[in-house]
């Protein structure tokens, strides 16, 4: 005997029409269209709803995806756009340590004369000198290489 449905989905006529247009136009991201198709299949106002396994096979997704979309529809307070759209980002992006001033100081250091005992600057040597400089944040040698490559600076 199958488990009883935990999340029921009842779409209004306006929501059904919106989702039908969205799935037929093809001008939206594929995941959004897939979620809209799942909501249309799970709609109990349109008639009897097939089992989740059957719906998953029709749309070519897993049963867990069908369950997750139904759960999200319930959690968003039956809001169709929030359900089919992307989730908002929880954490803001990490700001880069390399600002314009840091970049300029790094390029100036790379263009200067190498320290005594060295014929030229290497990325690891620049990394050591950046660590000793108080105004510049500690940067990894790969980050230093990316900054120099972006500005076409060649270590000679």
Give 10-residue mean pLDDT values along the chain (156 residues): 69 91 88 93 85 91 93 90 87 86 91 92 93 88 92 81
**Confidence at residue 5, expressed as pLDDT on a 0 to 100 scale:** 62
**Confidence at residue 20, expressed as pLDDT on a 0 to 100 scale:** 92
Compute how many other C-beta atoms are within 10 angstroms of the C-beta atom of residue 67. 17
**Confidence at residue 37, expressed as pLDDT on a 0 to 100 scale:** 93
Helix or strand or coil: residue 27? coil
> What single DSSP character describes residue 43?
B
Cβ 130 vs Cβ 139: under 8 Å: yes
Q: How far apart are CA 105 and CA 79, in angstroms?
A: 51
**Confidence at residue 115, expressed as pLDDT on a 0 to 100 scale:** 92
**Confidence at residue 125, expressed as pLDDT on a 0 to 100 scale:** 94
Q: What percent of the residues of the chain are helix, what percent strand, and what percent coil, each to the nearest 5? A: 55, 0, 45
Token pair for 148: 């120099």
**Confidence at residue 9, expressed as pLDDT on a 0 to 100 scale:** 85
């Amino acid at each position: 005997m199958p488990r009883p449905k935990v999340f029921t989905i009842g779409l209004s006529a306006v929501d059904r029409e919106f989702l039908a247009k969205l799935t037929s136009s093809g001008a939206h991201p594929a995941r959004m269209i897939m979620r809209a198709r799942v909501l249309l299949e799970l709609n109990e106002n349109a008639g009897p709803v097939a089992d989740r396994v059957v719906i998953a096979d029709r749309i070519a997704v897993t049963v867990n995806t069908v369950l997750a979309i139904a759960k999200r529809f319930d959690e968003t307070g039956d809001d169709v756009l929030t359900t089919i759209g992307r989730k908002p980002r929880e954490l803001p992006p990490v700001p880069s340590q390399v600002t314009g001033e840091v970049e300029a100081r790094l390029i100036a250091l790379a263009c200067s004369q190498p320290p005594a005992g060295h014929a030229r600057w290497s990325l690891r040597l620049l990394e050591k000198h950046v660590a000793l400089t108080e105004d510049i944040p500690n940067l990894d040698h790969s980050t230093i290489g990316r900054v120099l490559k972006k500005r076409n600076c060649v270590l000679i």
